[in-house]
Protein backbone atom coordinates (compact mmCIF):
# COMPACT_ATOMS: atom_id res chain seq x y z
CA UNK A 1 0.00 0.00 0.00
CA UNK A 2 1.28 3.44 -0.88
CA UNK A 3 1.30 6.42 1.39
CA UNK A 4 0.17 9.86 0.32
CA UNK A 5 1.06 12.90 2.37
CA UNK A 6 -0.85 16.15 1.83
CA UNK A 7 -0.89 19.50 3.57
CA UNK A 8 -4.26 20.92 4.61
CA UNK A 9 -5.16 24.06 6.46
CA UNK A 10 -5.94 23.83 10.15
CA UNK A 11 -9.53 24.82 9.35
CA UNK A 12 -9.99 21.99 6.84
CA UNK A 13 -8.34 19.51 9.19
CA UNK A 14 -10.73 20.52 11.98
CA UNK A 15 -13.73 20.10 9.64
CA UNK A 16 -12.46 16.69 8.51
CA UNK A 17 -11.93 15.53 12.07
CA UNK A 18 -15.38 16.77 13.13
CA UNK A 19 -17.10 15.06 10.20
CA UNK A 20 -15.20 11.83 10.85
CA UNK A 21 -16.09 11.98 14.55
CA UNK A 22 -19.80 12.39 13.71
CA UNK A 23 -19.61 9.44 11.30
CA UNK A 24 -17.62 7.41 13.87
CA UNK A 25 -14.74 6.73 11.49
CA UNK A 26 -11.15 7.86 11.38
CA UNK A 27 -10.26 10.90 9.30
CA UNK A 28 -8.12 8.60 7.15
CA UNK A 29 -11.08 6.27 6.49
CA UNK A 30 -13.26 9.24 5.56
CA UNK A 31 -10.63 10.53 3.13
CA UNK A 32 -10.21 7.09 1.59
CA UNK A 33 -13.98 6.72 1.09
CA UNK A 34 -14.15 10.16 -0.51
CA UNK A 35 -11.27 9.33 -2.82
CA UNK A 36 -12.90 6.06 -3.92
CA UNK A 37 -16.14 7.90 -4.66
CA UNK A 38 -14.33 10.56 -6.69
CA UNK A 39 -12.38 8.02 -8.72
CA UNK A 40 -15.54 6.01 -9.40
CA UNK A 41 -17.48 9.09 -10.44
CA UNK A 42 -14.73 10.20 -12.81
CA UNK A 43 -14.66 6.73 -14.39
CA UNK A 44 -18.45 6.82 -14.87
CA UNK A 45 -18.35 10.33 -16.36
CA UNK A 46 -15.62 9.28 -18.81
CA UNK A 47 -17.59 6.20 -19.87
CA UNK A 48 -20.74 8.30 -20.40
CA UNK A 49 -18.83 10.90 -22.43
CA UNK A 50 -17.18 8.22 -24.53
CA UNK A 51 -20.56 6.59 -25.23
CA UNK A 52 -22.04 9.97 -26.28
CA UNK A 53 -19.16 10.66 -28.67
CA UNK A 54 -19.27 7.18 -30.19
CA UNK A 55 -23.03 7.36 -30.62
CA UNK A 56 -22.95 10.87 -32.06
CA UNK A 57 -20.24 9.97 -34.57
CA UNK A 58 -21.32 6.40 -35.36
CA UNK A 59 -22.26 7.18 -38.98
CA UNK A 60 -18.95 8.95 -39.59
CA UNK A 61 -17.03 6.01 -38.15
CA UNK A 62 -18.95 3.57 -40.40
CA UNK A 63 -18.19 5.65 -43.50
CA UNK A 64 -14.52 5.94 -42.57
CA UNK A 65 -14.31 2.18 -42.01
CA UNK A 66 -15.78 1.49 -45.47
CA UNK A 67 -13.23 3.75 -47.13
CA UNK A 68 -10.26 1.81 -45.77
| pLDDT greater than 80 at residue 67 | no
User: Is 44 a domain residue?
Assistant: yes
Question: 59 is in which domain, residue-wise?
Answer: 10-67
Q: Classify the C-alpha dihedral 16-21-23-25 as positive or negative.
A: positive
Question: Into how many domains does the chain fold?
Answer: 1
User: Is 38 a domain residue?
Assistant: yes
User: Is 4 a domain residue?
Assistant: no
How far apart CA 43 and CA 54 sit, in angstroms, is 16
- Answer for the pair 15, 6: CB distance below 8 angstroms, yes or no: no
| pLDDT at residue 66, rounded to an integer | 84
User: Is 2 a domain residue?
Assistant: no
| pLDDT at residue 15, rounded to an integer | 97
Bin 9: left if φ > 0, else alpha if -120 < ψ < 50, else beta: beta
User: Is 57 a domain residue?
Assistant: yes
Kindly report, residue by residue over 11-65, the tens digit of the pLDDT. 999 999 999 999 999 999 999 999 998 888 878 888 888 888 888 888 888 888 8
Confidence label for 68 from pLDDT (cuts 50, 70 and 90): confident
| pLDDT at residue 1, rounded to an integer | 83
Amino acid sequence: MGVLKIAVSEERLAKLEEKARRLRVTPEALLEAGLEELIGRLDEEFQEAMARVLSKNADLYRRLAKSI
